Amino acid sequence: MKQAIVFLFILTLSSCEYFNVKKTSSEAILDEELKTFNWNDVDEYPSFSNCDTSNSKDERKLCFQITLTNHITNFLKKEVIIVSQDINDTLLLDFQVSRAGHLSLMKTSIDSLTVHEIPNIEALLSESLKDLPKIFPAIKRGQQVTSQFQLPLIISVN
């Protein structure tokens, strides 16, 4: 009887899948990790040095957007823009911040009346980005990454 119990116990242990160890490669682990990655969200948004005092992620994002908007608006206020019709338009500007912290204007969505009245509006917008303060790129899992965002800019010329 004891021999039968010992035999069944050994048979149970040897047939159990619990003791088999699966070998996984680093590529398999990386592939699995990349599948769970949310590529549309970053751990830290791009920022300027004056935004470092903000505590939360959303506050830093808002600070970055306000600083950029103010910089572009102040540049445009210094320019002499003469129009024949009043312009009240919201420009949608698509930006990209590279891993190195370079800001690029990728695409603009501007009303045809605004383009007609201010034909060099895109050149002015691009020029306004030249003397920006240093930008710190977005961070994802401790690595600097390229990020894209859209910024609305209200333009009013009378």
Give percent above pLDDT 70 in the chain: 84
In whole angstroms, what is the distance from residue 40 CA to residue 13 CA?
Answer: 47
What's the confidence (pLDDT) of residue 83? 84
Q: Is 137 helix (H, G, I), strand (E, B) or coil?
A: coil
In whole angstroms, what is the distance from residue 76 CA to residue 123 CA?
Answer: 11
Specify the residue for token string 């306000």: 66
Does residue 82 have a pLDDT over 90? no
Specify the residue for token string 């980005």: 129
Does residue 3 have a pLDDT over 90? no
Does residue 148 have a pLDDT over 60? yes
Give percent above pLDDT 90 in the chain: 42
pLDDT, tens digit, 9 for 90 and up, residues 50-63: 988 878 888 999 99
- Nearest-CA neighbor of 125 among 158, 101, 152? 152
pLDDT confidence band for 27 (50 / 70 / 90): confident
What's the confidence (pLDDT) of residue 87? 86
Q: Is 97 helix (H, G, I), strand (E, B) or coil?
A: strand
Does residue 85 have a pLDDT over 90? no
Cβ atoms of residues 137 and 145 within 8 Å:
yes
Higher-confidence residue: 5 or 136? 136
Tokens found for residue 12: 């149970």
In whole angstroms, what is the distance from residue 30 CA to residue 38 CA?
Answer: 14
In whole angstroms, what is the distance from residue 124 CA to residue 73 CA?
Answer: 11
pLDDT confidence band for 64 (50 / 70 / 90): very high
